[in-house]
Structure 1
Amino acid sequence: MSAGLRPRRGLAGLATSLVLEHGRRKKRGDALTTKASQVALAKAAAEAAAISASSSWVLACAAIALVAGAPGIALAHKRRGDAAAAPARALANMAAASLSFLGVGYSLAFAFNSLAPTTFPLRWFGALDLASMVNVSTDALVDGVPELAWAALQLAHAVLAAAIAGTPSFRQLQNHRAGGAVSAVFAALFVAVVYAPICRLLWAGGFFATRWNALDFSGSIVVHVAGGAAAMGYYVFGGTLSARSAKPAEMAAPLTETTRSAASNAHAIGVALLWLTTLALVGGSTVVAGASAATAILSTHAAAAAGLLTWQLVDFVFPPTVMPEAEGARGMDATMHTSLGAVAGLAAASGVAGFITVNGGILIGIVAAAAARIVRGMGAGAVHCMGGAAGAILLGLVASPAAPFYGTGTPLTAASQTGVQIATVCLTFAYSFVVGGLCAFVGAVVGAVFGGGNGGDAGVI
């Protein structure tokens, strides 16, 4: 959710002042004011308890997403030839993305600099006042929770986006000695120069949010469109160099029954982890563990379920032009790729979960899966990008007054909001594709210079 106008205040300072005032009034023997201060202290205690409960919910959701996100992406989008390398590359990607976000990404996204809010184009990057989180107050509140807890949830979003953007490096570098370094370099650059500005524009009072009223609840645009577009840019800008580290003969080898079973199991686990990650992120974005979180989680789950079944139905009515045997030769069983419909549904629901009900989630899942199936041959990034774009664009049409966050800037008219969402998606895609591709090229150069060719264990970073 947008944090451009988020209130910041210190609960510790409030409680301390109330205690001191209570003591002063008690010494004066003012019974009435003493009673009033007692009531104020009781309210402060109740508020502190509510903040503690919300903080616990947000931190639990952030921890789940951090642990499950990157491995889920790696397993959900792997091929047989990279079975050993993908998780290792994903861990390198996650570590680098985390340090990049904590070091500079959070500050670039959410710190306010001296530029006027209307200055274009920047306000794309914030100041470095919050670099390494050193100046983040321990008692400052953001959206009703301590800022450090809120930052942990933002870190989980950034790690998931970097994992989506890095899927090409998981697959192309399975036998490259510098493969882990390439994934790490790309992830660090992506978070700093792609994710942070897009996050700022939408979630930190940037141009898209304040001037256009663009909406993105938990990452359809910021995470899935930006990450998916960067992954597509990776293939274009960095794929030529990275592909030298692959073993085409191994990647083309047909699956045996043993490897097919192992690949199917790993893929199912990956999709399940990604499913869990997305539910945690949308739940945590509501801040409070209550009816609003339940509605967002159920709507997202419904979108994923509808997307999976829609993809299977479309495959049944319009069989893929690539025969199952050919899919298997490339490392993915034909029955496995139908679960990508769930991925498309999750990407679509992320950005709208707070503004829709279950029925809206089902509709978005159906449309997102049908759209993503068209571009499935363009890679994992295209599935995430198309799914996220479909959900963001449909927001103005499926937003429901019964949804928990409908009144917080939700579209006044479907037509105007749809136009805003389309423009935001297109600009996000263009920026992420080009700049993310350049980040991939830098990473690929690192691999070409320091990798020394193929060789080494696929599972060793």
Structure 2
Amino acid sequence: MAQAITLAADAPTLSAANTGFMLICSALVMLMTPGLAFFYGGMVRVKSTLNMLMMSFISLGIVTILWVLYGFSVAFGDDKGSLVGWNSDWVGLSDIGLTELWDGYTIPVFVFLVFQLMFAVLTPALISGALADRVKFTAWALFVALWVTVVYFPVAHWVWGSGGWAFELGVIDFAGGTAVHINAGAAALGVILVIGKRIGFKKDPMRPHSLPLVMLGAGLLWFGWFGFNAGSWLGNDDGVGALMFVNTQVATGAAVVGWLAYEKIRHGAFTTLGAASGAVSGLVAITPAGGAVSPLGAIAIGIIAGVLCAMAVGLKYKLGYDDSLDVVGVHLVGGIIGSLLVGFFATGKGQSDVAGLFYGGGLDQFWKQCAGVFGVLAYSFVASAVLALLIHKTMGMRVSEDEEVAGIDQAEHAETAYDFSGAGGGAARTPASSPAAPAESKKVDA
């Protein structure tokens, strides 16, 4: 009886503080999807701006519905063969108590599931940047639905679900280096190899139409990423979430510096696009590692990611794959860098006592990280390419050549991002429509 009393006393109880904190973090992660839409929307040409925004926003609708119907159950239900989860009580989220706690934590199941929902929404939206200018919106919507079902939900179980093979192996992925960024980057590569290049790739100028919009999007991503990363510890009771918060800022700042330094040496200028892309590369790289490394380790990871991702984005021109907005160069490469460097920079004093090579832990954790990285990469690449091929061969995944040249916004959404013909559009007044100028003004003009 005494043992039963002790166990009951030790059982977690609902924490209003942690619950409130996690709801705020969930909202911050939700903000990342519109932030991503602005980031990508500014990087494309004017004629594709709205389509780019919509490719992110539609994920908020489709993935939310699927998460309620079965996604949460597949990702975090009872393990089935270390590959998927399933819990029939969670189908439709109809049999979850209001104060029912997530196992081992002090937050309700509803709070955990909505936090993870925002990850599920963001991940397919990341893929969209690689496909800019050329994909039918209906085909993209279908791809999102199929992709999260076949790829994201199972991979989330592998990495974070109790019983998932990567989870049981001991792969460290604090907030999504494998499940989110490598997953999305590998998927992007698989899809673009199926659908092909944009018309005019490597011939026509395809510069960003609004760098201020890019910087706004990067700023929103950076802001939301604090919820993405620090919230992934699911509470504030032991300081690990605070360490992750600090490392998120440190690595991101270091990556900006690293990217810009490389850019200056290589191309002779510090660009705003480079600063924004460098920030995102640092955010990606610290995502798997930030709970396991020190702030000094975060600086190293950030600088390494900034330089290597800056180098990687140019590979598409050498190798001939049209990754429109550098999803492969930033998210795939950045995710690999951050995940593998855990095996070197883990201190053993953060989220666990696992130490990397530089802290006396040998290469054991590095090999585990390799298994997680390349397992997710291979599955996502192949499965995504197959899904894209099926859609491409049935309903067709690309818009027509004429629609792509004229502009996908008008073809797919019957709108344009900017109306220059209306009032305030900058058109000069004609003498006939202008009000009479004051006499004094006429003298000055003369």
Query: What TM-score do the two structures reach when normalised by structure 1?
Result: 0.75
**Distance change (3 Å), C-alpha of 1:352 and 1:253:** closer
Quote the residue 1:304 is aligned against.
Answer: 252
SS at match of 1:172: coil
**Alignment partner of 1:336 is 2:301:** no
1:275 Cα shift? 1.4
> Matched residues in 2 for 1:263 and 1:447: separation?
33
RMSD: 3.2
2:114 is paired with a residue whose SS is: helix
Letter of the 1:79 counterpart: V
Other-structure match for 1:76: 39
How many angstroms apart in 2 are the aligned matches of 1:86 and 1:137? 38
Out of 386, 397, 406, the position equivalent to 2:352 is 406
Instruction: Tell me which amino acid in the other structure corresponds to 1:392.
Output: S
Question: Is the contact between residue 388 and residue 397 of structure 2 (CA under 8 Å) also seen in structure 1?
Answer: no
The one-letter amino acid paired with 2:204 is A
- Displacement of 1:307 in angstroms is 0.7
Which residue number corresponds to residue 150 of structure 2? 193
* Identity in percent: 23
Amino acid at match of 1:219: G
Q: Are the equivalent residues in 2 in contact too, given 1:92–1:181 (CA < 8 A)?
A: no
Q: Tell me by how many angstroms 1:451 deviates.
A: 6.6
- The C-alpha deviation readout for 1:212-270, integer Å capped at 9, x for no partner, is 21110000111101011111111012x23xx6xx6659x93576xxxx6x610111111
Query: Which of 15, 20, 38 is equivalent to 1:51?
Result: 15
Query: CA contact under 8 A between 1:304 and 1:341: conserved in structure 2?
Result: yes
In structure 2, the partner of 1:208 is 166
Structure 2 length-normalised TM: 0.77
Deviation at 1:401, TM superposition (A): 4.0
**In the alignment, which residue of structure 1 is the partner of 2:304?**
367
Alignment of 1:111-126 (within 5 A): 111-112=77-78, 115=80, 122-126=81-85
Q: CA deviation at 1:287?
A: 2.0
Separation (CA, whole Å) in 2 of partners of 1:456 and 1:182: 15
User: How much has 1:400 moved relative to structure 2?
Assistant: 2.2
Instruction: Give the 3-state SS of the residue equivalent to 2:84 in structure 1.
Output: coil
Provide, for residues 323-375 of structure 1, a one-character-per-residue CA deviation record: whole Å limited to 9, x for no partner: x9xxxxxxxx9641342121111111111121122211111111112221222
One-letter amino acid of the structure 2 residue matched with residue 194 of structure 1: V
Contact 2:190 2:384 in 1 (8 A): yes
In the other structure, the counterpart of 2:99 is 139
Cα–Cα, structure 1 residues 318 and 289, in superposed 2: closer, same or farther, change >3 Å? same
Say yes or no: does 1:394 pair with 2:357: no
Sort the Cα spacing of 1:317 and 1:189 in 2 relative to 1 into closer, same or farther, 3 A. Answer: same
SS of the counterpart of 1:215?
coil
- 1: distance between equivalents of 2:129 and 2:261? 27
Shift of 1:317: 1.8
Deviation at 1:155, TM superposition (A): 0.8
Give the Cα–Cα distance (whole angstroms) in 2 for the partners of residues 414 and 136 of structure 1: 44
In structure 2, give the amino acid aligned to 1:133: L
Alignment length, in residue pairs? 384
1:47-75 deviation per Cα after TM superposition (whole angstroms, max 9, x unaligned): 75x61111111111111211x22222233
Query: What are the superposed Cα offsets for residues 116-141 of structure 1, whole Å, 9 maximum, x if unpaired?
Result: xxxxxx43122251222223343321
Whether 2:132 is the aligned partner of 1:167: answer no
- Asked if 2 retains the 8 angstrom alpha-carbon contact of 1:305 and 1:345, the reply is yes
Give the 3 Å change call, closer, same or farther, for CA 263–437 of structure 1 in structure 2.
same
Counterpart for residue 118 of structure 1: none
Asked if residue 107 in structure 1 is aligned to residue 83 in structure 2, the reply is no
Tell me: CA distance 1:458–1:357, structure 2 relative to 1, closer, same or farther (3 Å): farther
Structure 2 equivalent of residue 34 of structure 1: none
Structure 2: state its 5+ residue gaps.
317-322, 415-446
The amino acid across from 1:316 in the alignment is K
Q: Give 1:301 shift.
A: 1.2
Instruction: Give the counterpart of 1:460 among 410, 413, 417.
Output: 413
Contact 1:64–1:280 (8 Å) recurs in 2 = yes
1:12-64 deviation digits (Å, cap 9, x = unpaired): xxxxxxxxxxxxxxxxxxxxxxxxx9xx99x89x975x611111111111112
Q: 1:254 to 1:216 in 2, by over 3 A?
A: closer
SS at match of 1:422: helix
Give how far 1:309 is off. 0.9
Residue type matched to 1:252 in 2? D
SS in 2 for 1:351: helix
Displacement of 1:278: 1.8
Which 5+ residue runs of structure 1 have no aligned equivalent? 1-36, 116-121, 174-178, 325-332
Aligned to 2:373: 425
After TM superposition, give the deviation of residue 388 of structure 1 in Å.
0.9
**Matched residues in 2 for 1:263 and 1:126: separation?**
43
Give the secondary structure class of the aligned counterpart of 2:410: coil
Q: Distance in 2 between matches of 1:397 and 1:247?
A: 43
